[in-house]
Chains A and B, each alone.
Chain A
Amino acid sequence: MKSVTTKARTRLPNETIGPGRRQFLKTAMKAGALLALPQVIPGSALGKAGSVAPSERIILGAIGIGGRGRYVLSCFLQDPDLHCVAVCDVRGDNRQRAKAMVDDRYGNQDCATYIDLREILARRDIDAVLIATGPNWHATASIMAARAGKDVYCEKPCTKNIAQSLALADVFRRTGRVFQAGTQRRSLPNFAYAVELAHSGRLGQLQTLHAHPGGLGTSMSGWLPTEPAPARDQADWDLYLGPAAWRPYNRRLLDGFNFEKGGGMTGGGCLEWGSHCVDLCQWANQADDTAPIEYEPVNGQLHARYANGVKLVMRNDGWLPLGSCPVRFEGTTGWVETGDDAEFGASSPDLLTRRGAKIPGYPADFHVRDFVDCVRTRAQTRANADCACWAHIACHAANIALYLNRKVTFDPKTCEFVGDEQANRLRSEALREPWRI
């Protein structure tokens, strides 16, 4: 089958698509361009775009505001109908940087700072919170926030295990709170367009989905040598540990990414990247309310299968030249692939004539916008707690297969591994006292 790519000089230099042809493709694609995203809700219907009184603004607090947190916070701060009043972090340097950022935005010194998330959650004036702590805290903090009556935008990976994934969905359903997982690729037109091709049948019957959660494998952070703990206002170690099992202070652990990614027994790229690219495959397969039923490590990859027969291949390295987080959807009559550079590969140029605007670099702005809209409408976000729950379950189940290094069979109805006690025991993990979900 003839294939086409919109990526200039990626596969082989100066072949197949020369500059003139590239120009042609760009021209052809802009013609008839269509924003492949769900309905845009009019600002006036939501009382936004500067049309609301200050008393009607959404009041935001931000919890966990390191580098990633400050980036997402900057997306929130662009919204004139939202006002950030407080930031919270166990690290003093993060607190001060985030406060400076917020104060600079509003031209005052009003942004309050907190070390303990319970204090910011206790503020009745705060409607919504951004949670961008390390993954260790994501589910627990999100659930605490929902119970405190806050809507939540939470960075990914959102959960540490299958039980937390289910609890997250349950709590947000029970509380009626809005949840948006920080899987912002759900709000980017190139990924949405690829998914639309899968949904519309233009690829034929879906057969195989490819995700690229680089760094597949398990990780287990342990108990590093004790170092003198800093003063609480510099880093509150007890709060940093939060729901994770206790260990002494060591500065190497004071980094969300090095600390128990995914929960110790499991984790690694499967959650770090899978929460994005496996999530996109779930979406493409219209499987936001389920997960694959079989998972098997195969030659460094993880092969999974859905009940509808669609295969999911989680690749580890060396694959698509389309930027980070690439996905590929294959059907009986065609295929499409895309990644973070917002370019496409496809089995036919005809598949790409209606692609949307090219927005490379996986910005979070649109995803934040969707969250803010849903805070007002109370609708489900694009990456709501239910679909985040199932995408994370798929990643955790894959990780359990990788950890046990064998095939596991999963029943999405009971959320149990079939006849597999070892796998079932890895579905949850006790939280350190006094935390609970």
Chain B
Amino acid sequence: MNVSKRYVTWFILLVVTAVSAMAIGQDQAAAEAKQRELLAVLQSNAPKAEKAIPCKQLAIYGTAEAVPTLMSLLADEELASWARIALEAIPGPAADEALREAMGTLQGRLLVGTINSIGVRRDARAVDGLVQKLNDADADVASAAAVALGHIGGDRAAAALTQALAKAPAAVRSAVAEGAILCAEGYMAQGKAAEAVKLYDAVRGADLPDQRHLEAIRGAILARGSGGIGLLTEQLRSDDKDRVGIGLRTARELPGRNVTEALVAEMDRLSPQKRSLLLLALSDRKDEAVRPAVLKAAQGGPNALRITAIGILIRLGDASCIPTLLQAATEGDVDLGRAAQETLVRLPGKDVDADLAARLPQARGKLRQVLIELASQREIQQSLPTIVSSMEDDDPAVRAAAVQAVGVLGRDRQHVAELTRLVQKTAASSERAAIEKALLAVTGRVGAPAVSYLMPLTKSSDRSLQITGLRTLAVVGGSEALDAVKAAIAGDEGDVQDEAVRILSTWPNRWPDDADAGEALLRLTRSGGKMSHQVLALRGYLQHIRGNKGLSNDQKLARIVELRPQIQRPEEERLAIAVLGEAPTAGALELLTTLAQDAAVAEEAYSAIVTVAAADVPGLSGPQRRRALQTVLDKSANNGTKRRAQEALKKVQ
């Protein structure tokens, strides 16, 4: 960097610093002004309602200057807590001194609140005063003091709390223990485990509610580190469910390989149910040393324990667990098999995929079925050739698994060809349905190249195969597929014709050549051989208009007007309303107003009217829009629609 550049850099830094300092100065001046404004309210004769929020805002803007005013509110039952919001937040000794002073003058609930705030601020200079309050006749005050001492911590607080554990009245003792445990946590944070242990043990030995004992047990175990293993296993062996519970929680927390090993060793001493629970706890330790114990439990013993262990292997297992899991998956027990298969699906790693794929070619029967299902669920593409050949396995369960798996994994025209061939040589309707399902899925992925394989199905003498062909062609769309559907509609085979009409009525509207479906549907609305065909075609046509981006709003309206004589039932009226609501024009509003006269669809029409009238549509005047919205407000029973109408009305000029 040359000299001139360095000067420029320094100059920029200087300017930035100066601007920042000015900004900070401005911020500070603004904060001080805000504080003065807030204090003026608090010092005035304003009603309390006007003083509450300023107290709260002083939590942000208050300084030592605000403390005396806030302190004067600590004796006010209604404003004391508002004042403490600010006093707890204002940094510096002034607020601490104010709270300590208030501790000497207040009583009852207000004193409790003040002591709580001292505890939150961890004011070490308040310890002597708080120790005195430990002996207060008011149990709530003494309890608050004990907890505040716990928050502040230190040797003086710890000694006072330890003493109080023995002599405090029962109503206060639980809070004293709470304070002692907080103190112990403070010691732990400072690395003073020995001091913490003393406090925890003192609580364990005192006459207290069970929960305080449980907390002390947990603390005593953790503070002792590895030395706490004995106390931990003592809890696990207990007959008391709360002791076992705290043992299980602590078993998850206490670190160390030797702890893991001790807990694994403990497994054999426990009942099967406790072993399940401990196994779950062990699995949360994220220690690989647990895996052999889990694997052992998965291999044999009570089913409940095996299932728990198998579930844990999702997190702890690897490829080495596969034999155990496959054994459990194929044993014949439904629950065990389900659990094992779920774990095998979720076991992470490409090496797991490779292992499973390598086992498939040699596998037979149930194992082959399971491996195919796993390949499908794990999407193991390398197993696909074996799976395709398994679609003609002698075992029906294997065949079914293979067909389903090809549906998931297949993405090649060759798979369409295989499935097409298979469906033609399969007689059982249930198997045909499964093959059709797979064919639909694979065809969806393959797209147009699948058409040449599917067309022969539509020309089959087997009507069921014709229907399968039409359904799968519909997934692809396009002109060739559409022609096949139209030909089926023109044919004379009732069930094929019915299905073709249904397919046409839900034809995709994706490609330019799919637009021809609209014309075919329109023709069918008038010339359909059956009433049901005309109805389906009408509904399909209305859907088609709705999604056709090639039509303008006016053109959509014109089509609806043209069809109006046929739109008589509520179902079709609703579809027409949906089209009109999304194609706002003056004519649409008029037609919607007419449709709203039919009580069966009135609410749908009102909702669409609001949408249209809220839009700024050419040819639709302000008065027309307001009139329509007012009609909705007057007649709609739907609060949501009325609310939208009200909002729209406010905006219409």
**A interface residues (Cβ-Cβ under 8 A, vs B):** 12-21, 23-25, 27-28, 31-32, 34-35, 39-42, 44-47, 147-149, 163, 174-176, 220, 222-223, 245-248, 264-265, 353-354, 376-380, 421-422, 425-426, 428-436
Contact = CB atoms under 8 A, between A and B. Distances in A.
B88 interface: yes
9 contacts: A18-B507, A20-B474, A20-B475, A42-B339, A147-B178, A174-B181, A246-B78, A429-B88, A436-B116
Nearest to A403: B60
Given A32-B376, A45-B305, A222 B408 contact: no
A405 B276 CA distance: 52
A422 B79 CA distance: 23
A28 B444 contact: yes
B356 interface: no
Given A430-B87, A434-B109, 10 more contacts: A13-B546, A21-B508, A34-B377, A222-B52, A245-B52, A247-B49, A353-B379, A354-B377, A378-B246, A378-B277
B600 interface: no
B185 A174 contact: yes
A428 B214 contact: no
Interface of B: 31, 48-50, 52-53, 56, 59-60, 77-82, 84-85, 87-91, 109-110, 112-114, 116-117, 119-120, 140, 144, 147, 178, 181, 185, 209-211, 214-215, 218-219, 242, 245-246, 248-250, 252, 273, 276-277, 280-281, 284, 303-305, 307-308, 311-312, 314-315, 335, 339, 342, 345-346, 376-377, 379, 404, 407-408, 437-438, 440-441, 443-445, 471, 474-475, 477, 503, 506-510, 543-544, 546-549, 578, 582
Closest 9 CB pairs of A and B: A14-B547, A18-B508, A433-B113, A149-B211, A19-B506, A432-B81, A24-B444, A378-B248, A39-B311
Contacts of B508: 17-21
B109 A353 contact: no
Nearest to A172: B249
A32 B304 contact: no
B539 to A, nearest CB: 11
Contact of A20 (B249, B315, B477): B477
Interface of A is mostly: loop
Contact of A433 (B49, B80, B85, B120): B80
Nearest to B336: A42
B211 A175 contact: yes
B377 A433 contact: no
A44 B308 CA distance: 10
A175 B214 contact: yes
A378 B510 contact: no
B60 A15 contact: no
Residue of A45, A220, A223, A432 with most partner-chain B CB within 10 A: A45
A208 to B, nearest CB: 25
A434 B140 contact: yes
Nearest to A222: B53
Nearest to B209: A149
Contacts of B444: 21, 24-25, 28
B391 to A, nearest CB: 15
B386 to A, nearest CB: 17
Contacts of B112: 433-434
A362 B602 CA distance: 31
A34 B345 contact: yes
B181 to A, nearest CB: 7
A45 B308 contact: yes
Which of B117, B277, B312 counts the most chain A CB atoms within 10 A? Answer: B277
Contacts of B90: 425
B377 A41 contact: no
A147 B50 CA distance: 37
Nearest to B151: A436
